[in-house]
Amino acid sequence: MLDPAARGQGHGAALLRSGLAKADAAGLPVYLESSKPDNLPFYEHFGFTVLGEAALPRGGPAL
């Protein structure tokens, strides 16, 4: 579980930026799945776009 005091300090953005740079350098595609709609603007800031939604079976979260 993320420590609430660590939120908003840019750690997630730095990690995502690093991973995306490595994928770009290697010419690899990337995608992500998110089950929390509130996070979409964060990911969109990095160039991700919503392509669709999938419902997991047995009451799992929508992705």
Closest CA to 13 of 34, 43, 40, 37: 43
How would you class 24 by CB atoms within 10 Å of its CB: exposed for 0-12, middle for 13-18, buried for 19 or more?
Answer: exposed
Res 1 pLDDT > 60: no
Residue 7: pLDDT band with limits 50, 70, 90: confident
Q: Is 40 helix (H, G, I), strand (E, B) or coil?
A: helix
Calculate the average pLDDT of the chain.
90
pLDDT digits (tens, 9 = 90+) for 14-39: 999 999 999 999 999 999 999 899 99
